[in-house]
Structure 1
């Protein structure tokens, strides 16, 4: 299989104690959306931003491996989290175990790179994470279809790649 591009993001609504995660996948210009939307505090809870970003990337990595991709390009707008991925030292924070799993999964790919992108180049994943805050259960979909706002955001993200 070819190279898969993953954009991920997390969102937290501190007032309501809910966190959401979103991811969008692209293969050679074809958009594949896969969103893991835990929209209830039972599933994710009110986690620190780095933990939510870690979970968003973790679910994206699991999906990529599940569908058989071995080459991956990852983009996200959480610079601090992405920098931690380059650090080989142990992380003793509350989300350290999630970061450890992310680092282990990264080794499962033949080729895997990650980089920071501005929020305006990560609109799809950001919007998916925000939408997850409103949902009561995870939402996955893999198709060319989806709500109109999704297609508009995808177009904006593609403009960043040109």
Structure 2
């Protein structure tokens, strides 16, 4: 019967197996989230398939997967009850944005908890690079803001970099962390501390295991740069302690310019033509 057809593709019979696995729109969503591995089985039953998925991968992946199931169903209901249809690209963006929002809430809770504790003066013995990112959700671009300070806390370099085709603020923060690591190598540091206010990104940079989340490839790139250092450490800091990098990233996003300032000399540059021994990160 016509009314039994999928409201999105109008091809298969609309049961839960079709909605979450077989519909072409659903397959496109899982593909855009880099979750094509969920099809690497021949399990016909939906519930056994869900059990298999949850047993295969990390908590981070399962969290994204559950968010995907929820928004796939929610968008299906919008088609039926509101007559509003979204593309697979729009739905995958919604999923990434929701996960980023959850991460932001976790970070804010951590900051509130940290700010409630007695303040202690942190003494750092190493050169430090602070990083942050600003994200343009309309054009899927971001800017990385990097601030380099010596052992005495004096700013010795700043840098802002453009990234294109960025899916979410979460990805933007990962790009900024990678750029901070590259900058440390380019400036010849052998011992370095890298500080950022994205707790999730910092935790993944600290981990030595393979990351299978949506930013896994970028985290892998960061891990591959660690052997360039005698010692490199990643630390989470509250946003209030990262205002310089945050402001630099926001200003760069607003004015559309990249810059590099070291030792009192400013050099505007274009990210797509910048050449260095580590190559481009975008």
The interval holding the TM-score normalised by the smaller chain is 0.7 to 0.9
1:134, 1:45 → 2: CA distance?
A: 17
1:74, 1:64 → 2: CA distance?
A: 9
2:200, 2:265 → 1: CA distance?
A: 33
**Structure with greater helix percent:** 2
Q: Match for residue 157 of structure 1?
A: none
Contact 1:31–1:144 at 8 Å: present in 2 too?
no
User: Is structure 2 residue 198 aligned with structure 1 residue 78?
Assistant: yes
Q: Match for residue 249 of structure 2?
A: 129
SS of alignment partner, residue 207 of structure 2? coil
Q: Match for residue 4 of structure 1?
A: 127
SS of alignment partner, residue 179 of structure 2? helix
Structure 1 segments (4+ residues) deviating >6 Å? none
Q: Cα offset for 1:100?
A: 0.3
2:199, 2:157 → 1: CA distance?
A: 23
Size of the aligned set, in residue pairs, is 141
Q: Match for residue 25 of structure 1?
A: 148
2:166, 2:183 → 1: CA distance?
A: 23
Q: TM-score, normalised by structure 2?
A: 0.46
Q: CA offsets, 1:35-83, max 9 Å, x none?
A: 1231xxxx42343222211111111111111121100011110001111
2:242, 2:248 → 1: CA distance?
A: 10
Ranges in structure 2 where 5+ consecutive residues have no aligned partner: 1-124, 267-282
User: Is structure 2 residue 157 aligned with structure 1 residue 37?
Assistant: no
Alignment of 1:1-162 (within 5 A): 3-29=126-152, 30-38=154-162, 43-144=163-264
Provide closer, same or farther for how the CA distance between residues 33 and 25 of structure 1 changes in structure 2, counting only shifts above 3 A: same
1:93, 1:132 → 2: CA distance?
A: 28
Provide closer, same or farther for how the CA distance between residues 64 and 86 of structure 1 changes in structure 2, counting only shifts above 3 A: closer
